Chains A and B, each alone.
Chain A
Amino acid sequence: MIEQAVPFTPQLTASPIAEILWLIPAVPMVAAGVIALLKQPRRTAAATLAIGSLGFSLLLSLVAFGHVLAGWSNQVAVRETVNFTWIQVGASTVDLGWVLDPLSAVMMVMVCFVGLLIFIYSTGYMAHDENFTRFFCFLALFAGAMLGVVIANSLLLLFMCWELVGLTSYLLIGFWYQKPSAAAAAKKAFLTTRVGDIFFLLGIVWLFNDTGTLLFYDHGAGSMEGFALAGLLSHHVALGLTVAGAIGLLIFAGAAGKSGQLPLHVWLPDAMEGPTPVSALIHAATMVAAGVYLIARVYPLMSAGMPLIRAGAVTGTTAALAVVTWIGAATAVFAALIAIAQNDIKRILAYSTVSQLGYMMAGLGLGGVAVGMFHLITHAFFKALLFLGAGSVIHGCCDEQDIRRMGGLKVDMPLTFITYAIGMLALCGFPLVFSGFWSKDGILEAAHSGAIQGPFYLLVFGALLTAFYMTRQVSYVFFGYWRGHHPAHESPGVMTVPLAILAFFAIALGAIGTPAWPWFRAFLDGRSAAFNWHGFAEPGLALLMLTSSLVVFLGIGLGIWLYGGKSPSPEEPDVLEKATPWLWAGLRDRLYVDEFYGATVIAFYGWWARAADWLDRWIWGGIVAAVAGFFGLWAKFNRLLDMHFVDGGFDKTCEEIATGGGLLARVQGGRVQIYLRILAIAVVVLAAILFWSSRA
């Protein structure tokens, strides 16, 4: 239920906290620099620096959040920017800057908070790693870069931090660089996201050229503000697509790369080669959400020209948002299908992340910023929880990752089990109690009220699959009986306490986004929110909630029916595999997308590289060789003339050969001189021609 819009007073001048907002990314980055200079054995110093710097950023984020919140409760829409000139080019400037508004405030608190918990968890998880110090250096650098993405008020600054995030992701996926698979996965991640990024870059330069600025907000002169957007809408590219739509789609390509959307999702499951805290922080909670955040940031551009936005309720779409919606919905189902047939505990979660990112994208496309962002925030907590829980399981099972070699862990690892179960139920969207239910429900509601119902059915089907594959995973891991080799043990407190905290938020966060008190949406949209029990009772909404609850029960029920309590041996085929081997094989092999790319894109790359090399060696090089050969022949011809007609006499030549090396060697050695002589003659002749023709 949507409150009526109360016009909030805009707050644009930067307050002291906004002035120092740059410290939030800068402090972890500086910490990373310092850690980089530390010697490897300085473990405690490294961890302290990383955790301390992020703790500082969290405090500052909370103060900034408090500032925005205080403004909001006084009916002030805070959007404070600090901009500065980075480069002066010709008469114009390239400006960078940062922004404090509800969107950046919510995101920075989430990133700092989840990041801090994962940093602490990592001190336990990575305790025995010889490159502990380097790990925290990369983590801190990542946190700084990610926070830079969050506070950026310039598409260029965002892109720069975005690429740095990509770099740290590359470094952390390949952290165990001696494993060839990790090195390959790191490279694959960087390159796949860069495919999206080159489109993103084109979008940036296009936007820059057409609006003259890359700042988002600049007191009316920014690229996300009315004047610039009106200009972008007034031109069309082709097929009725406006310039705004075209730029929006280019930017979305970048977001799709980072957020693992079809068809660029292939890197994310492989990224699980990194240490598990990295998977939790970067490839579940924060970095992969950067694409979603980017679309939320440029939402004014994506939605420019939309028929009507009334009181935060989105009642229409644009070409760009329609693409975002469909890609998101398709990704949600596609990845959920693959997740069913995976046996690696982290890969299941990775595909689940891809799928949930699809929900967020669809939420943005259908319901606007608040809908997508709410799922982003709740997902960050419960997915970080699930990954850290998986890490705890892996740690407890002596680095076993195959769920078919686990089982019955609810007894051995009770804390991990309880928290994991909470995360799993939140991910499935178990009704009422869990945050995931409310955030997913917001997306389904937006999908249901859309003009086309296609995405809605896809997303509901995705919800069924989600509940099913998570039930399968939990049954294999925590129920049944133990099938591993070494006995499992519970993880230390430094790992389980972060789990408990995340579990608390996986439940509690739901409270800020229920239909009765849609605080989160009101906060982001700059409206006031009042508590109202009747929010639950709206007939359409109640029916929808009932539907989605039934779907979740169905998914969990199917899962329990097929997998509950059974602990098949690792060698035994899956229940579904027995029923439909061909379907199972397809899903297990990730629907052959990687193979398809291998046979097309990668093959083309290699083939074209060889073609470039071949062209060089044989065509261009061949032409040069032919020209050189011609001169060489001519030189020999000259020499022959010299010997037989000028010098006269074969005897002398024989003498020459006898005394001073072979004829061929002389030709070889003398080639430069011959060339030079020919060139000199040519120059003189041409100069003479020019000279005489000019006098004529």
Chain B
Amino acid sequence: MNGLMTGAEAGFPILTLLTALPVAGAVIALFSGRHARGVALFTALISLVLALVVWTRLPADGTMGMVELHTWAPSIGVEYHLGVDGLGALMLVLSAIVTLMSVDAAHRVHHQPGLYYALVLLLQSGLFGSFTALNFFHWFLFWELSLIPAFFLIKLWGGPKRGPAATQFFVYTMAGSVALLLAFLAVFLSTGSMDFGQLADMAANGTLAQKVTAHLGAVMPWLAIGVLAGFAVKVPLMPFHTWLPNAYAEAPSPVTMLLTGAMSKMGVYGLLRIALPIFGPQIAAMRTPLLVLAVVTVVMGAWAAAAQKDLKRVFAYSSVNHLGYCLLGIFALAVPAGGAAASTSLGASQAAALNGVILQMFNHGITAAALFWFIAMIQMRTGGLRGLNDFGGLRKPAPVFAGLMGIALFSSLGLPGLNGFVGEFLIFRGVFPLSWISATVSVLGLLVTAAVILTVIQKVFAGPVPERWIQFPDLHASERMALAPAIGLMLLLGLVPQLIVDTVNPTVVNLLAHWRF
């Protein structure tokens, strides 16, 4: 059997180009003053085109494509190793879309626009790099690199409490990264490799655990915990999420779009690309406590959203809840080999759950980014107001606004026919047979989320219009044009999810064939 991350070499280094392009754009944006937004828009657009090219030219069998492999620093096991499969390419497309949306949403950056857009583009480069790297060193570089622009974007352009929020965000994620780094240091010292593919293959045939144990003793579970900690903070998994509401609330809304739409997916991606293939048996051994935390994330995330009075915090917690379904699917499918939950339908359930997780990553990215975009527009129209009780009856002066935001809200609610439903359905379809208790408790999250979102609609859009919002401006033509693709995508992917699944499913099959728990 071929290794997990072997695949077709690229004739043309498109992934390198894709990662380098935003950096070049950032440099130009930095020095183009008030034209910076145009530069950023153009760069983001080209990136999206390139990402779509990558997406359409993936190998049909779900293995790695566009592979670039060069020696870098062989003495410490570092190679320049890039490649994407359906999962990676989908994340590239998502990052490109969300960046484009974010740049589009950031209309009025008065304070140092050049720096702002340069940082956004750098962040995009960090995303691209971490979604394509197949060597730990290289991956970690970009994983950390994406943090720095995000930190400064919050710190310099954020809300009144931006300082502590940015610091908390940075330090918290950093602490997770340190755990991650140490775990991989241990793995490297034991095996001499940092290549994800080689490590996954070693894990699959059991030599990884042998080598690590021979070198360092019985530390494999601790290494798995270290790796999980890094990702748990990023996604986040409760209770490692406390940085998130503050960071999401204090960041300027276009940056929040990037944080929730794309950066939160880095954690889920890491679980799928790194944690499960390399530490599968260890994670499977901790499955029950991890499932408990995932269920807590789903249910308490939704409930915490119900207690918020600030729209951004509402959707921040709602994001925790939505990504909780991804964690639920991931941990549920890590069934210990030969365990009680293993049955004849195991493969089908795992495939459903994993497809659901990947769809949910993409769909949540689009929907959450759109929601924060709408909040940005509300703030722009009201001088920064975003309290749940600041509005009322906005449907009257702004029917199109209400209608389009309503679509995004119902997508978030998981209404069938819109994109949010498909991933959640597949996750529940997969999780129920694997851990029926988790699935049964987690459906509460669906109910509470519905209550939260309908409350938002009720408080913001229904009821009598207060005097001061009678002139609330509806979406104008350019805004409608900008939003239309996102809303169209929600409808399209809700009705024809096969558009994505066609490419994702072969990757899912390939991944599941290689993973060992």
Residues on A facing B (Cβ under 8 Å): 36, 85-92, 156, 159-161, 163-164, 167, 170, 174, 177-178, 180, 182-184, 187, 190-191, 194-195, 198-199, 201-202, 204-206, 208-209, 212, 605-606, 608-613, 615-616, 619-621, 623-624, 628, 668, 671-672, 675-676, 679, 682-683, 686-687, 690-691, 693-694
- In the complex, residue of chain A having the shortest beta-carbon distance to the beta carbon of B309: A613
CB <8 Å contact, B181 and A683: yes
B389-422 interface mask toward A, CB cutoff 8 Å, 1 = contact, 0 = none? 0000101100000010000001000011100011
Minimal Cβ-Cβ distance residue in B for A209: B433
Contact indicator B182/A209 (Cβ below 8 Å): no
- Whether A613 contacts B308 in the complex (CB less than 8 A), given A90-B350, A91-B347, A92-B351, comes out as yes
A164 CA to B410 CA in the complex, in Å? 11
Q: Is the beta-carbon distance between B167 and A205 smaller than 8 angstroms?
A: no
**A30 vs B238: C-alpha distance when bound (angstroms):** 43
| C-alpha gap A505/B426 in the complex (Å) | 44
- Give A610 to B308 CA distance when docked, in angstroms: 9
Q: Given A180-B462, A201-B428, A620-B242, is A690 in contact with B182 using a C-beta cutoff of 8 Å?
A: yes
What class of interface size applies to chain B in its complex with A?
Answer: 35 or more
Are A88 and B450 also in contact (CB < 8 A) when A612-B303, A613-B307 are? no
User: Would B465 and A178 count as touching, CB distance under 8 A?
Assistant: yes
Identity of the chain A residue whose Cβ is nearest the Cβ of B449 in the assembled complex: A194
A163 touches B307 (CB 8 A): no
- What A residues does B207 contact at CB under 8 A? none
> For A191, what are the chain B residues with a Cβ–Cβ distance below 8 Å?
447, 450-451, 454
Q: Tell me the minimal C-beta distance from A215 to chain B in angstroms.
A: 15
| Contact present for A88 and B185 (CB under 8 Å) | no
Q: Are B172 and A624 in contact (CB-based, < 8 A)?
A: yes
- Give the shortest distance, in Å, between A604 (CB) and chain B (any CB): 10
Q: Quick one: closest A residue to B395, CB to CB?
A: A177
Instruction: Write out, one digit per residue, whether chain B residues 419-433 have a CB within 8 A of any chain A CB (1) or not (0).
Output: 001100110110011
Chain B contacts with A in 154-188, Cβ cutoff 8 A: 163, 167-168, 170-172, 174-175, 178, 181-182, 185-186
- The docked-state distance in angstroms from the alpha carbon of A48 to that of B381 is 37
B-side binding surface: helix, strand, loop or mixed?
helix
Q: B residues within 8 A CB of A89?
A: 348, 351-352, 355, 426, 501, 505, 508
Judging by beta carbons under 8 Å apart, are B498 and A690 in contact?
Answer: no
In the assembled complex, the Cα of A615 lies from the Cα of B512 at a distance in Å of: 37
Contact of A160 among B300, B307, B417, B444 (CB under 8 A): B417
Known: A87-B497, A89-B426, A620-B239. A194 touches B463 (CB 8 A): no
Bound-state CA distance A458–B282 (Å) is 59
- Are the C-beta atoms of A167 and B458 separated by less than 8 Å? no
A613 to B310, CA, bound (A): 13
The majority secondary structure among interface residues of chain A is: helix
Q: Is the CB of B502 closer than 8 A to any CB of chain A?
A: yes
Contact in complex: B171, A628 (CB < 8 Å): yes
On chain A, the residues within 8 Å of B168 by CB distance are 624, 628
Listed by A's residue number, 12 A-B pairs whose Cβ atoms lie within 8 Å are A92-B352, A163-B416, A170-B454, A174-B462, A178-B393, A180-B462, A180-B464, A198-B447, A605-B451, A612-B300, A620-B241, A687-B185
B146 interface residue (CB < 8 Å to A)? no
Tell whether, in the assembled complex, residue B350 and residue A190 are in contact, meaning their CB atoms are under 8 Å apart: no
Residue in B307, B448, B509 whose Cβ sees the most chain A Cβ within 10 Å: B307
Q: 5 shortest A-B CB distances, which residue pairs?
A: A90-B351, A183-B462, A160-B416, A613-B307, A609-B306
Q: List which B178-231 residues lie within 8 A (CB) of chain A.
A: 178, 181-182, 185-186, 189-190, 215-216
CB distance B242 to A624 under 8 Å? yes
A136 to chain B, nearest CB (A): 15
Q: Is B280 an interface residue (CB 8 A)?
A: no
Minimum CB–CB distance from A392 to chain B (whole Å) comes to 28
A88 to B243 alpha-carbon distance, docked (Å): 38
Q: Is the CB of A177 within 8 A of B498?
A: no
A residues within 8 A CB of B351?
89-92
- The one of B307, B355, B462 in contact with A90, judged by C-beta atoms closer than 8 angstroms, is B355
Which residue from chain B places its CB closest to the CB of A622 in the assembled complex? B242
Which residue from chain B places its CB closest to the CB of A90 in the assembled complex?
B351
**Distance (whole angstroms) from the CB of A31 to the closest CB of chain B:** 16
Chain B minimum-CB-distance residue to A615: B300
CA distance A623 to B308 in the complex (A): 21
A86-B498, A205-B432 given. 18 additional CB < 8 A pairs?
A36-B403, A177-B462, A178-B462, A178-B465, A199-B443, A202-B440, A204-B429, A205-B425, A206-B432, A605-B306, A605-B451, A606-B306, A611-B303, A612-B307, A682-B178, A683-B182, A687-B182, A690-B185
Contact in complex: B455, A187 (CB < 8 Å): yes
Residues on the A chain within 8 Å of B241, using CB: 620
Give residues 483-498 of B contacting A (CB, 8 Å). 497-498
Interface assignment of B27: CB less than 8 Å from any CB of chain A = no
Q: How far is the CA of A202 from the CA of B421 in the complex (A)?
A: 14
Minimum CB distance partner of A187 in chain B? B454
* A610 CA to B307 CA, complexed, in Å: 6
Minimal beta-carbon separation of B320 from chain A (angstroms) = 10
> Are A195 and B447 in contact, CB atoms less than 8 angstroms apart?
yes
Bound together, the chains give a CA A676 to CA B144 distance in angstroms of 13
Q: Distance in Å from the Cβ of B14 to the closest Cβ of chain A?
A: 27
The answer to whether A178 touches B450, judged by C-beta atoms less than 8 angstroms apart, is: no
Q: Are B416 and A164 in contact (CB under 8 A)?
A: yes
Whether B304 is near chain A, meaning CB under 8 Å from some CB there, is yes
Is there an interface contact between B182 and A609, defined as CB atoms closer than 8 Å? Answer: no
- With beta carbons under 8 angstroms apart, the residue of A164, A208, A671 that contacts B415 is A164
Residue B349, interface by CB 8 Å: yes
